[in-house]
Amino acid sequence: MIILGVDPGTLIAGYGVIERNGAALTLLDVGVIRNSGSDSMPLRLKRIYSTLCGVIERFHPDEFAIETAFYSKNAQSALKIGQARGVSILAGVNHEIPVSEYAPREVKKAVTGKGAASKEQVQYMMMTMLKLKETPKHFDSTDALAVAVCHAFRISAPRAGFKDWKSYIEAHPERIIKNRR
């Protein structure tokens, strides 16, 4: 299964493509989409969309995972991130790829064990898990890889495909261990 992970941003957006084969994770591609601050917002959004469409056409991912927007005290920043998220999601949807969203704390916890992990800790774990030989220049790219890895972990979890634990238990009553007192 091939997973495209995206860390949205209007100046720098990160992307990472991994392949999950059983428990093994393999890096296929990682990079950033760089925009100039002097470019208009429509041009930045077009570059994000076009680049992600190119990545999708090269790797044909089965799944698309993106980081959700975090709350910001600066409404303009939150709005811009929202626009970058929108065109990124549109690239996945237009290619008929299922899209999943993960909060930054959820991604960090999935790959480091701590929801408050630093970008350096996330980068270190991506270097280790994916056996990267070189450190990527931008945290945005390792953050995008972390989103993809988080998704790989989530879809391989026992309850994958179920909306909650209750529905999983109802579908698999044979997996319940009863207290034998």
pLDDT, tens digit, 9 for 90 and up, residues 70-87: 666 788 888 999 999 999
Residue type, 177: I
Active site residue 29: no
pLDDT at 175 over 90: no
pLDDT confidence band for 69 (50 / 70 / 90): confident
**Is residue 26 within 8 Å of residue 87, measured between CB atoms?**
no
User: What sign does the CA torsion over 70, 48, 149, 171 have?
Assistant: positive
* Tens-place pLDDT, residues 40-59: 999 999 999 999 999 999 99
pLDDT at 151 over 60: yes
pLDDT at 171: 73
Q: What is the residue extent of each domain of the chain? A: 2-175
pTM: 0.85
Q: Which residues contact 83 (CB under 8 A, 6 or more apart)?
A: 10, 41, 45
Distance, in Å, from the CA atom of 11 to the CA atom of 91, rounded to the nearest integer, reads 18
pLDDT at 120: 96
Q: In the structure encoding, which two tokens stand for residue 59, read together?
A: 């790797």
Active site residue 67: yes
Q: Choose the catalytic residue: 7, 120, 134, 164.
A: 7
pLDDT at 173: 74
Q: Choose the catalytic residue: 106, 140, 164, 170.
A: 140
Helix (H, G, I), strand (E, B) or coil at 114: coil
- CATH architecture label of 2-175: 2-Layer Sandwich (3.30)
Q: Choose the catalytic residue: 63, 67, 164, 170.
A: 67
Active site residue 62: no
Q: Which residues contact 130 (CB under 8 A, 6 or more apart)?
A: 18, 25, 26, 27, 145, 149
pLDDT at 168 over 70: no
Q: What is the mean pLDDT of residues 12-18?
A: 98
